[in-house]
Amino acid sequence: MTHDLLGRHRAVLPDWLALYYEEPIEITHGEGRHVWDAEGNRYLDFFGGILTTMTAHALPEVTKAVSEQAGRIIHSSTLYLNRPMVELAERIAQLSGIPDARVFFTTSGTEANDTALLLATTYRRSNTVLAMRNSYHGRSFSSVGITGNRGWSPTSLSPLQTLYVHGGVRTRGPYAALSDGDFIAACVDDLVDLLGHTRPPAALIAEPIQGVGGFTSPPDGLYAAFREVLHERGILWIADEVQTGWGRTGEHFWGWQAHGRHGPPDIVTFAKGIGNGMSIGGVVARSEIMNCLDSNSISTFGGTQITMAAGLANLNYLLEHDLQGNARRVGGLLIERLRAAAAHVPAVREVRGRGLMIGIEITRPGTDEADPATAAAVLEAARAGGLLIGKGGGHNTSSLRIAPPLSLNVAEAEEGAAILEDALRSIP
């Protein structure tokens, strides 16, 4: 059955549409932190559909909200008043920390970042954008143009002039050997020098923790230091919270808060987890930035009633059950367990992350050279053991990505860690 579906997939879908595993699986249903494939195999899910199933599979509160809304009306577009959209926008505006915030809903993180770029370049009258090396911001023409990860940049053509800044990866690059304070100072000096050689940019866009890049991050405070330089020049700060938002890092509700010494960003983009699988993305910005467009616009599918109902139910569950606190507690246990397991595996260069956002970097033993074949082998071994994880990386690295639903419990964390330890120890 699965083999037949794979043949049909290959016959009608693009060759560049990636599939995990030598024998790809069809996931048919899920519950809690587990999913099942078409062959009846049960897996502990440590990737959540790329950090999108944020609370749990088949969460009753979300499925009930979706079902009830579907029985009333599914969609009407933004041309009509939409109560669930207004209610979710009110909640997100308050949670964002941005004063006098306005919220615009999209259908994906890519579209959210597109919108943020449109706002910033229009507001600043500049098409120059600062972005981080090793970054990923989506698959559209404009978001590919600011993505600093060669493996996810199929074209160098872009409507934007993009300048890439140091700092998104702490343990690689020319400043890796410095202390955290000196690392930040060197990156700030580099930014200042770069700005002296170009016309004023519209904005800096940055992921607080780089997702597709392998869950890499700078020392806390880097973007606060960048913000001082940017603010002096009127340059906006866009925080791409598509993967880091909603409490996943445990320590903070938003990833930018690890760098928030001078307050919130000018623009925040979000997506993935808020819908728990429904297609929701969006942008939060100060009113003068959001309202800078001087022509009409709508969104046919952004903010549609059924996705907003799911987002409201999911956000309520997340806050009422303190899933951010759970990510901090269970994530802390999980990362220490994985570090202990990896300590005796020469191919593991680093175990990093915070909360339930953990990366394991695989290299050839004794070197910094990427080993994608071994990373793929660990992915396969984990799947054979009943665990689904992700992979990614930049800077010529190969990293395993671990991001379970935020309701993960201690027993499941221990189970997943044990499977992953066996998979790592299976490396020849």
pLDDT, tens only, 115-135: 999 999 999 999 999 999 999
pTM: 0.95
Q: What's CA 345's distance to the chain center, in Å?
A: 27
Interval 146-163 mean pLDDT: 87
The DSSP line for 52-64 is T--S-BT-HHHHH
Residue 202: pLDDT over 80: yes
Phi-psi region of 209 (alpha: psi -120 to 50; beta: other; left: phi over 0): beta
High-pLDDT (> 70) share of the chain, %: 99
Determine the pLDDT at residue 396. 63
Q: Are 262 and 228 in contact (CB under 8 A)?
A: yes
Residue 395: pLDDT over 80: no
Determine the pLDDT at residue 12. 98
Of 120, 347, 124, nearest to 233 by C-alpha is 124
Determine the pLDDT at residue 260. 79
Structure tokens at 65: 């909200």
Instruction: In whole angstroms, give the CA distance from residue 247 to residue 43.
Output: 24
Interval 190-205 mean pLDDT: 96
Determine the pLDDT at residue 411. 98
Interval 61-77 mean pLDDT: 97
Residue 155: pLDDT over 90: no
Determine the pLDDT at residue 156. 83
Determine the pLDDT at residue 150. 82
Average pLDDT, the chain: 95
**Which of the four pLDDT bands, split at 50, 70 and 90, describes residue 153?**
confident
pLDDT, tens only, 80-113: 999 999 999 999 999 999 999 999 999 999 999 9
Interval 378-401 mean pLDDT: 91
Interval 18-32 mean pLDDT: 96
Domains, the chain, in order of start with CATH, read 2-58+322-425 (3.90.1150.10), 64-320 (3.40.640.10)
High-pLDDT (> 90) share of the chain, %: 90
pLDDT, tens only, 248-305: 999 999 999 999 787 899 999 999 999 999 999 999 999 999 999 999 999 999 999 9
Classify residue 7 as exposed, middle or buried by CB count within 10 Å of its CB (0-12, 13-18, 19+): exposed
Determine the pLDDT at residue 27. 97
Interval 370-385 mean pLDDT: 96
